[in-house]
Structure 1
Amino acid sequence: MTGKKLNENLDTFLRHIESIKDTLPMTLLLLGPHQQKAQDKLVQFMNENVEEIEKEDGEKAIAVKYEEAKIFEQLSKNSEISILASKIIPESLFVSLISQFDAYLNRLLRILFEIRPEFINQSDRNLAFSDLIGFDSIEQAREHIIEKEVECVLRKSHSEHFDYLETKLNMPLRKKLPVWSKYIEITERRNLFVHCDGIVSSQYLKVCQQHKSDVHDIQLNQRLDVSLEYFDKAYKSLFELAVKLTHTIWRKLLKNDFKGADRHLNDICYDLMSSGQFYLADIMLEFACEQNKFYNDAYKNVFIVNRALSKYLQDKKDDAQNIINQKDWSASSDDFKLSKFVLNEEFEDCYALMKKIGKDGEVDKENYRTWPLFYKLRKEEGFKVTFKEIFNEEYKVVEIPKRPVQEIIEKEIENNPELQDKVKNKEMSKKQLKEKEELGKEEELRPTMAHKA
């Protein structure tokens, strides 16, 4: 059995939460002008039709003509509704993030029972005789038990979900998992928005403190919100947890499919680097490099190279070189040797090795044009000269279509530069954002790997 279904389940979850992540800044950007318009109309009306008066007790109030009162009431309501949207939309999308994780966990449990039938065969869940006679086969009865088992598990708390998984798998899942405490806080905050309008309860504080979540500045009865920064952290936490959980289970239960696991994990890391999500890329590549077993040395080397490359693309050259130079690459294939030269910016050695590899070697024309590994090297005149010498054609940049959300956001930012601080990734400087845009112009939409195995 392969990890195809584990792969599909994780990919579905990651696509869904990425869609939600894109929706929030796009919605707030589009909502902004409408909020301003509603506010401006109210202010204009008040300036022209509302007077401030002083009551007998000395307090101040406003007065509006009777025939204008209905207009004032509606304009006030319009302004209030538009402002409320800025609160409700982030909270609703935040709740949707956790709902997607719960759906991912639902599917994951069913896949586990398929991979290891004994997990459900050992269930002590009982069937009434009236239920049993209603099934046409043992398989139908088994599916009914699975449904009840999953339903029972998902009714429990999010920490109990992992208690269940650890018991079934007979392995720790939260060891060396710093994101765990953040995950608990996120899921408990979700409960507050669903049941308590975001008002902090004693249960929220108790659970968070039990799991060492950082809630030292949160007080009982305080109303919590969802800022763009908090939403981004929640997205990253759920992304990290789902990838690590899936691949830990994959390697534990499907030891004959390390190749599929390595390939899929590298695809995830590649996509993160390509989209400029370097915080997550660094976490996932560290996780990948720390695995005890790989399909072969080539895949292990790919993770090392890409871990260094992620640092390199962030202009953290010292970190990149420390990672790549920890290994002796002298006995490795030419593509890995070339990677070492690139990351150490030994460009003359790069050009010499490119010529040695030639046009039909381990690195081909499309690799030079699309791999992020060559992102900075492609800007060098020596690269363009060498490329032409090898392939007898000029180097050309590969243009790829932008995602619709990116086009909308960029258009809004272009029209209103003040919005930049509201949507830019906190971990990226303006220089990195510019480089990310340039990088996107030079890459394929979805190559299999940043560096081949």
Structure 2
Amino acid sequence: MLNKQITDFNENLIGLRDFVELIDPFLTEKFEEHDKHIQPIILSAMLKEVLSNGEKIEDEDKEKFVEFQEKIEKELDKKYKEIPEVKFDKKENQEGKGFSISISNSNNEISKHLENAQKNKEHIELLYTNSLISALSSVEWFFSQLLHFYYDKHPESAGVQKRTMTLTELKTFGTIEDAEKYLIDVKIDEILRGNFESWINLLKSELSLGLGYLKDIKEELIEVYQRRNLFVHNGGIVNSIYLSKVSENQRKGISLNDKLSVNKSYLDNAICKLQKAFILIGAELWKKLNPEDITRGEILGDIVYENLIHSRWDICEGLCFFSLKDAQINPVDKVIAQINYWLCKKELDDYKSIEKDINKADFSDKKEIFQLGLFALRGETEKVLNMLPIVLETNQTNIERLEEFPILKEFRETEEYKTFKKESKFFKEENKEVITPEIVEKE
């Protein structure tokens, strides 16, 4: 069904993350190499500013500030013949009140460090900005794949019967099917030219999807799309379109003609929200077209595990919740989804909402690996220790997975587990076969 499209989309975004993680440390190291020469100068100037602007400072703290500032200045005097002047200009930014810093170019050595630090900072920002654009390109590709899949099966929904073609256009096609495919391509191209809001309206009206999972993140996704449009079409400068499309709570402190940027936190959050939203859109369409297909649970389970390893709890919570509401999911996949859903809620500091369900859950009729997961969620260390030899002896998991399972993270930090590792025979047999590679293994 849609397993390949969903899997490829997930892999595309994971690959993009891996690329950022590979390049980012290199660029950051280059920036810090030059920035370390600039920061003492800024710190010294800031201390001077604080001490001279008349702010109330306790005598004891003031002495420490003076002593620290003098120490830094002595070090700078030894290092540089001339210390450049630093100026602070108060201004409003996206986070509220702040200030900008300017440093005079009187010292050639410092000027070079300033120039290189600025270039490296721009390179880092460019990495994040281009990665955001690339992420949304992957989303558009995936969305087009979903539309092609649906309209190829239901061409009447694309409205191709009402479209007209010239005789010249018709002559370029070998068959009626080719002409129909062309009209579907035109329809999808028109859809992709629209905005995120129009996509949502189309998914609801023409594909009859519910999209309830988009309710809490819709405004955030709109902002991500509009920010991308600013980078592609307006150099990142805020225009009236951005201000009219983005809700006020998503653009606090942002004004007309501001220049926006993308930092690592923003990029990570945007990719997570896009990944969660569009995998769920694909899963819902799959469920609509083929509700009996049990492989849907397996595919979502694999994606959940891959993202659990990287602590992407929000993505996994949404996918697990979807699986739990899927009536056709394999019972084993449903148990896995339930355990992982509870884990996500716990990691998202929402344990109270599921505590009763976890405490009353009875997995005594289920495989030991599932019982192990439940005991770990409850923090029942002794029961986990008693269950470990069973799941390892019966090859329900292996040492490699045991060391990797997110659900066992807290348990692995206990002294009991450290003792188990020292005394257990299983850590001498790490090459044993494992049945399946999921968070909790299944037959």
Matched, 1:395 2:436: no
Matched, 1:304 2:338: yes
Deviation readout 1:409-442 (Å, 9 max, x if unpaired): xxxxxxxxxxxxxxxxxxxxxxxxxxxxxxxxxx
Equivalent in the alignment of 2:150 = 112
Q: How far is the alpha carbon of 1:287 from its aligned partner?
A: 4.1
Equivalent in the alignment of 1:425 = none
Matched, 1:169 2:203: no
Match of 1:233 among 259, 269, 272: 269
Counterparts of 1:174 and 1:317, CA distance in 2:
23
Show structure 1 runs of 5+ residues with no match: 53-60, 400-443
Matched, 1:244 2:243: no
Matched, 1:190 2:228: yes
Contact 1:9/1:108 (<8 A) preserved? no
Counterparts of 1:354 and 1:3, CA distance in 2:
37
Code of the residue aligned with 1:346 in structure 2: it is E
Matched, 1:147 2:179: no
Match of 2:440 among 441, 447, 451: 451
Equivalent in the alignment of 1:26 = 25
Matched, 1:217 2:253: yes
Code of the residue aligned with 1:307 in structure 2: it is Y
Matched, 1:160 2:198: yes
Counterparts of 2:137 and 2:8, CA distance in 1:
14
Q: How far is the alpha carbon of 1:270 from its aligned partner?
A: 1.1
Provide the secondary structure at the position in 2 that maps to 1:325: helix
Contact 2:376/2:411 (<8 A) preserved? yes
Q: For structure 1, which segment, 116-125 or 352-361, has the greater mean C-alpha deviation from structure 2 after superposition?
A: 352-361
Tell me which of the two structures has the higher relative contact order, counting C-alpha pairs closer than 8 angstroms and 6 or more residues apart: 1
Equivalent in the alignment of 2:71 = none
- The 3 A distance-change label for structure 1 pair 202 and 266 is same
Code of the residue aligned with 2:440 in structure 1: it is H
Match of 1:282 among 317, 338, 344: 317
Q: How far is the alpha carbon of 1:95 from its aligned partner?
A: 2.1
Match of 1:295 among 321, 326, 329: 329
Code of the residue aligned with 2:437 in structure 1: it is T
Counterparts of 1:150 and 1:38, CA distance in 2:
53
Deviation readout 1:374-425 (Å, 9 max, x if unpaired): 4554566766888999xx93425969xxxxxxxxxxxxxxxxxxxxxxxxxx
Counterparts of 1:269 and 1:180, CA distance in 2:
22
Deviation readout 1:324-376 (Å, 9 max, x if unpaired): 22533344444333332332233444455556678337567776565444455
- The 3 A distance-change label for structure 1 pair 295 and 27 is same
Q: How far is the alpha carbon of 1:154 from its aligned partner?
A: 0.9
Q: How far is the alpha carbon of 1:108 from its aligned partner?
A: 2.2
Counterparts of 2:117 and 2:28, CA distance in 1:
17
Show structure 2 runs of 5+ residues with no match: 40-75, 86-102
Counterparts of 2:224 and 2:321, CA distance in 1:
24
Equivalent in the alignment of 1:433 = none
Provide the secondary structure at the position in 2 that maps to 1:200: coil
Contact 1:179/1:237 (<8 A) preserved? yes
Equivalent in the alignment of 2:171 = 133
Q: How far is the alpha carbon of 1:269 from its aligned partner?
A: 1.5
Contact 1:132/1:141 (<8 A) preserved? yes
Contact 1:208/1:214 (<8 A) preserved? yes
Equivalent in the alignment of 1:430 = none
- The 3 A distance-change label for structure 1 pair 450 and 79 is closer
How many residues align? The count is 387
Q: How far is the alpha carbon of 1:159 from its aligned partner?
A: 1.4
Q: How far is the alpha carbon of 1:262 from its aligned partner?
A: 0.9
Deviation readout 1:59-106 (Å, 9 max, x if unpaired): xx9999xxx99x999998666544543443332322222222222222
Residues 38-437 of structure 1 mapped to structure 2, 5 A cutoff: 81-120=119-158, 122=160, 124-173=162-211, 177-209=215-247, 214-257=250-293, 259-289=294-324, 291-310=325-344, 321-353=355-387, 359-360=393-394, 368=402, 371-377=405-411, 393-396=425-428
Give me the TM-score of the superposition, normalised by structure 2.
0.71
Counterparts of 1:141 and 1:353, CA distance in 2:
62
- The 3 A distance-change label for structure 1 pair 241 and 35 is farther
Counterparts of 1:246 and 1:322, CA distance in 2:
32
Equivalent in the alignment of 1:6 = 5
Code of the residue aligned with 2:218 in structure 1: it is W
Counterparts of 1:314 and 1:176, CA distance in 2:
19
Q: How far is the alpha carbon of 1:35 from its aligned partner?
A: 4.8
Give me the TM-score of the superposition, normalised by structure 1.
0.70
Deviation readout 1:13-52 (Å, 9 max, x if unpaired): 4334424543563353144146549979xx99xx669999
Cα RMSD, aligned residues only: 4.4
